[in-house]
Amino acid sequence: MKKIVQKYSECIGCGTCVALCPNFWEMGEEGKARPKKGKKNPETGDYELEVKKVECNKEAADACPVQIISLRD
């Protein structure tokens, strides 16, 4: 399993991740992107989502202009 981690508080809401990977990313009511079905870590405020396959999330992470999306083992 891989884990997608997004530093939510640093998101600028550009929507690049949503455009590149709409099955995994969505825009929230507050104008910031977040992973669909992701859980917010209460300690860090980051969104985390475990996935079996990285799929388009690698492109979303690479294209993020503020580099706040990471993929971890």
Q: Is 36 left (phi over 0), alpha (psi -120 to 50) or beta?
A: beta
Task: Give the other-Cβ count within 10 Å of 1's Cβ.
Answer: 8
- Token pair, residue 4, equals 């997608």
User: What pLDDT sits at residue 4?
Assistant: 98
Q: Any residues with CB less than 8 A from the CB of 51 and at least 6 apart, and which?
A: 1, 2, 3, 4, 24, 57
**Among 32, 27, 28, 34, which Cα is nearest to 12's?**
32
Residue range 2-72 forms a domain whose CATH class is: alpha beta
> Which pLDDT band, with edges at 50, 70 and 90, does 72 fall under?
very high
> Which pLDDT band, with edges at 50, 70 and 90, does 10 fall under?
very high
Q: What is the pLDDT of residues 38-54, one digit of tens each?
A: 999 999 999 999 999 99
Q: What is the pLDDT of residues 52-70, one digit of tens each?
A: 999 999 999 999 999 999 9
